[in-house]
Amino acid sequence: MTDLIPIIVLAPLAAFIINAFFGSRFKNQAIAGWLATLAVVVSFVITAGLFFEMMGRPAEERAIHYTMLDWIHVGRIQVNIAFLIDQLSIVFMLVITGIGSLIHLYSISYMKGDRSFWRFFVYLNLFIVMMLQLVMADNYLWTFVGWEGVGLCSYLLIGFWYEDKKNTDAAKKAFIVNRIGDFGFLVAMGAMLYQFGSLNYLDVLGSGSNIVDGTHHVGMVGGLAAGSSIITIIALMLFLGCTGKSAQIPLYVWLPDAMAGPTPVSALIHAATMVTSGIFLVARSNILFAMSPVALSVVAAVGAMTAIFAAMIGIFQNDIKKVLAYSTVSQLGYMFLALGVGAFTAGVFHVVTHAFFKACLFLGSGAVIHAMHHEQDMQKMGGLKKYLPITFWTFFLATLAIAGIPPFAGFFSKDEILWQAFSRGSVILWLIGAIAALMTAFYMFRAVFLTFYGKPRFDAEHHPPHEVDWKMWLPLVVLAGLAVVGGFLGMPKVFGAGNAFETWLDPVLAKGEQLSLVAGASEGAGLEIALMVVSVVIALCGILLAMRFYKTRNTLARDEASLGAGYQLMHNKFYVDEIYDKAIIQPIFKTSESFLWKIVDVKVIDGIINGLAHIAEIGSGSIRRIQTGIVQNYAVMIVVGLFVLVGYLVMF
């Protein structure tokens, strides 16, 4: 299977090229969709075959390094177009191609009839190519190319329906905010070149080693000891890039607005794959982060704050996709919380389970929107359970998973994060995570009850909702099934079974987890089980609260508004966008208009240029008087010139 590795990227790339040049000419628009879908299926099949081949090898021989082309060779710096397929990258590749295939299939029906149907699949295929490149690259620079590529695709897909200004504004917002984070990535690469003279993962991270001084582990990377300032700078700058791509405080503001794009975009890019790029980058660089306690603390703190902050906002959102958007931001915070306490495996495991249930939820919301004739306000839904039985049950199962109810997938990954936050971090981190879990269960079941239960709050007689066709419900069923059983891949050791997911990732992540383990970390099966029970009780409390207010009483926005300032604050997203506008955007705009344009540009730059032109005009006006048109004058000037030249030669 090793020889087929390039095809994993080239198959969707070929579909992208074909649809880009010929997609608009297909007589049947579905051809473009099926071509794009089959290309991603090919990538998934090869990736799955490669995964099983790797499973058959000893753990230390599973990593595959595949070089395609020489790219940059300047002095001692060499960067190739090459792939590093190991236990970490193959996990992300399976998620990208597997869920990507399902979402492509779903999109064939969802986007049917759109006049730019072929263009949608062009963008979608390009995204798959860039995302695969990001996780398969063997160096930071090639990863960065994919990193920028998925940012471009995100911009194109969010603004897909560009006739609507709201969509184009959301696309520009996503693009600009991500550029802020990407600046950090660039600085980090510059620091790596300065310190290590290389951007290759094996050169930067492969030199990590453990030294035991008798009391604890001391890390060494490239001859630098743990806590070195250059390591901290690199790690923090990488994390700045992650806060943009993975929507963490303070750069999370683009993700909720990104829901302006078609729902399959939300499922693929903004729930299952692109926003997890930051998780991949930190996990890939786990040794660097483990070497910097400061960076890890920042990651944990930002993750915890994002988890609870986004959960609070999600409680009173009425747009079904906005609820899922803030849920995604919160769950990404969970992942960074795990990474920040050095539980890299737990963070990656939640990436996988989250991809299952959140993609299902987004696609389920798309089915609801499709059935409701593009209505997204849950206040105008209700009673859809009997109209959309398949959508309801898949959405319900995925909601149980995200709420952390056993034995669904989200229970195992979320509980592992909470346990690691308690045992490797602090009680405060665990408490923040637990409160966020309570809110998650509440607002997700609020969405279920407002959407599927109660009396219909729409004209069911004249506009009856309808269940979606098989191309849309089949991905829902598959993803819901994975949301039910996917957690068993990472069964906690406290249950007496080996954690297969942890064992698989050990060769890549174990060293970083060992280096980041602090002295006095909590242990004990009894304590872990007790906290597990507490987390389940917390989730059940959130569900019961939602049931109390939204199933039996059918509470609506007018009732929620009676809560006063607290409701207004959370419903209006803590006015973060307004604060950014007043504190950052408007000052920059006014400075640009009043000073940079009217003074620097008009008076200084234009003044200098126009002044030079005026000087040239005056000078040329004086010189042109020499051109009289009288031949005798020219003859006199020639004679004078000859005398001057001869005199100069005689004298010197």
pLDDT tops 80 at residue 628: no
| Comparison of pLDDT for 59 and 151, the residue scoring more | 151
Which helix or strand (DSSP H or E) is residue 137 part of?
none
Render the burial of 455-488: b for 16+ CB within 10 Å, e for the rest. Answer: ebbbeeeeeebeebeebbbbbbbbbbebbbebbe
| Comparison of pLDDT for 60 and 496, the residue scoring more | 60
Average pLDDT (166-183) is 93
What percentage of the chain has pLDDT greater than the value 90? Answer: 65
Please return the burial class of 544, using the count of CB atoms within 10 Å of its CB with bins 0-12, 13-18 and 19+.
middle
Under 8 Å between Cβ of 485 and 122: no
pLDDT tops 60 at residue 212: no
**Confidence band (pLDDT; 50, 70, 90) for 220?**
low
pLDDT tops 60 at residue 217: no
Lowest mean pLDDT among 338-342, 345-349, 433-437, 565-569: 565-569
CA distances (Å), origin 351, targets 96, 129, 272, 288, 505: 11, 20, 8, 21, 13
Render the burial of 410-435: b for 16+ CB within 10 Å, e for the rest. Answer: bbbbbbbbbbbbbbbbeeebbebbbe
**Confidence band (pLDDT; 50, 70, 90) for 95?**
very high
CA 345 to chain centre: 18
**Confidence band (pLDDT; 50, 70, 90) for 554?**
low
Closest CA to 243 of 290, 190, 181: 181
For the chain, the maximum distance between any two Cα atoms, rounded to a whole number of angstroms, is: 114
Average pLDDT (152-159) is 94
What confidence tens digit (pLDDT) does each residue in 350-366 have? 999 999 999 999 999 99
pLDDT tops 90 at residue 185: yes
pLDDT tops 50 at residue 218: no
What is the spatial distance between Cα 259 and Cα 162, in angstroms, rounded to a whole number? 14
Task: State residue 513 phi and psi, 5-degree precision.
Answer: -65, -35
pLDDT tops 60 at residue 243: yes
Under 8 Å between Cβ of 37 and 29: no
pLDDT tops 60 at residue 209: no
pLDDT tops 60 at residue 520: no
Helical pair 344-371 and 409-420, crossing angle rounded to 10 deg: 140
Q: Which residues, 6+ apart, have CB-to-CB distance to 353 below 8 Å?
A: 401, 409, 410, 412, 413, 483, 486, 487, 490
Under 8 Å between Cβ of 133 and 150: no
Write out the two tokens for 518.
């602090």
Half-sphere exposure for 245 (CA within 13 Å, toward CB) = 34
Write out the two tokens for 359.
């993609």
pLDDT tops 80 at residue 271: no
What confidence tens digit (pLDDT) does each residue in 427-461 have? 999 999 999 999 999 999 999 999 999 888 887 76
Average pLDDT (579-590) is 92
Under 8 Å between Cβ of 372 and 381: yes
SS3 readout for 245-314: HCCCCCCCCHHHHHHHCCHHHHHHHHHHCHHHHHHHHHHHCHHHHHCCHHHHHHHHHHHHHHHHHHHHHH
3 state SS of 115: coil
> 238 forms bridges with which residues in the sheet?
none
What confidence tens digit (pLDDT) does each residue in 596-605 have? 888 999 989 9
Under 8 Å between Cβ of 140 and 204: yes
Under 8 Å between Cβ of 93 and 4: no
Task: Using the structure block, give the residue that is written with the tokens 């359970």.
Answer: 385
Under 8 Å between Cβ of 341 and 420: yes
Please return the burial class of 193, using the count of CB atoms within 10 Å of its CB with bins 0-12, 13-18 and 19+.
middle
pLDDT tops 70 at residue 421: yes
Write out the two tokens for 72.
């940059």
Predicted pLDDT at 225 = 58
Predicted pLDDT at 40 = 97
Predicted pLDDT at 564 = 78
**What residue spans define the domains of the chain?**
1-181+246-275, 292-564, 598-651
**Confidence band (pLDDT; 50, 70, 90) for 402?**
very high
Render the burial of 511-529: b for 16+ CB within 10 Å, e for the rest. Answer: bbbebbbeeeebeeeeebe
Write out the two tokens for 66.
């595949």
Write out the two tokens for 408.
């669904």
Lowest mean pLDDT among 267-271, 276-280, 309-313, 609-613: 267-271
CA 89 to chain centre: 16
Predicted pLDDT at 210 = 40
Predicted pLDDT at 213 = 38
Average pLDDT (200-214) is 61
Write out the two tokens for 249.
């405080």
Average pLDDT (2-27) is 93
What confidence tens digit (pLDDT) does each residue in 101-128 have? 999 999 999 999 888 999 999 999 999 9
* pLDDT, averaged across the chain: 89
The counts of H helices and E strands in the chain are 27, 5
Total-model pTM: 0.89
What is the spatial distance between Cα 598 and Cα 586, in angstroms, rounded to a whole number? 16
pLDDT tops 80 at residue 219: no
> 85 forms bridges with which residues in the sheet?
64
